Amino acid sequence: MIQAADLPDTIPVFPLPGALLLPRTRLPLHIFEPRYLQMFEDTLKTRHRLIGMVQPVPGERDGATVLHSIGCAGRVTQFSETEDGRYLVTLSGVSRFRLSQEASGFTPYQRFDVCWQGFDRDLGRSEADETLDRGPFLSLLERFFAAQNLSTDWEALREAEDELLINSLAMLLEFDPEDKQALLEAPCLATRRETLVTLIEFALRGGSQEETLQ
């Protein structure tokens, strides 16, 4: 397990719309673009093996992609290489971070100085949601799954620990990138669950895809 003192000041960032990584979760990635292949190979040479997942802000500013200020770093814990040189990678979520400034030096991918302060709970034990009422929450989820023609193992959901349940849903359900960002920035598990409920209720009411959680 990575300790706070082991977190580096600078990490590579991988901007990927809609891809949400949270602490203590796992995110599969398919890496094939040349600059990110280089990023991955460079990351394997580091002691920490961390890659920062960041949501791009919709649109561009002065022709450049703008990134949200908060992302989540994941440690490369598993990978395989295909015959044509692509990588199938698993990132294990470590901690959220705040972007500071882009690091100097040339690489085909972006590297940023980052600040880890304010996210101490990410390195701790799994969180519990003391205010979660599973009955109404799962009933709402069943309505949403039916409306979206989705299926799942309901027994596994009923038995899952709070953090696994809420974070898995936040990562796997289809929401707009800005809504995914709101889920990422939730300060605690209970707030993330409340945000998730709001998004699900909004979708069930037939909310427009152009609208996002404010």
Model pLDDT for residues 103-117, shown as the tens digit of each residue: 988 899 999 999 999
Average pLDDT over residues 151-163: 93
Element (H, E) at 38: helix 34-44
DSSP 31: E
- Kindly report the backbone phi and psi dihedral angles of residue 109, in degrees, each rounded to the nearest multiple of 5, phi listed first: -120, 165
Which one has a higher pLDDT value, 92 or 63? Answer: 92
Dmax (CA) for the chain in angstroms is 53
pLDDT greater than 50 at residue 43: yes
Query: Which two three-digit tokens encode residue 135?
Result: 């009955």
pLDDT greater than 60 at residue 182: yes
Helix (H, G, I), strand (E, B) or coil at 94: strand
3.30.110.30, 3.40.50.300, 3.50.30.30, 2.30.130.40: which CATH number matches 4-123?
Answer: 2.30.130.40
**In this structure, is the dihedral angle defined by the CA atoms of residues 23, 28, 34 and 37, taken in order, positive or negative?**
positive
State residue 213's pLDDT score.
Answer: 45
Q: What number of other Cβ atoms are within 10 A of residue 206's Cβ?
A: 7
State residue 137's pLDDT score.
Answer: 96
Assess contact for 188 and 121: CB atoms under 8 A: yes
Assess contact for 53 and 114: CB atoms under 8 A: no
Q: What number of other Cβ atoms are within 10 A of residue 20's Cβ?
A: 23
Place of tokens 């936040």: 170
For residue 13, the one-letter residue type is V
Query: Which two three-digit tokens encode residue 133?
Result: 């009422």
Given the DSSP bridges, would you call strands 10-15 and 50-54 parallel, antiparallel or unpaired? parallel
For residue 179, the one-letter residue type is D
Predicted confidence band of residue 39 (pLDDT cuts 50, 70, 90): very high
DSSP 116: -
Q: What does pLDDT average to over the chain?
A: 92
pLDDT greater than 60 at residue 210: no
In the chain, the N- to C-terminal Cα span, in Å, equals 35
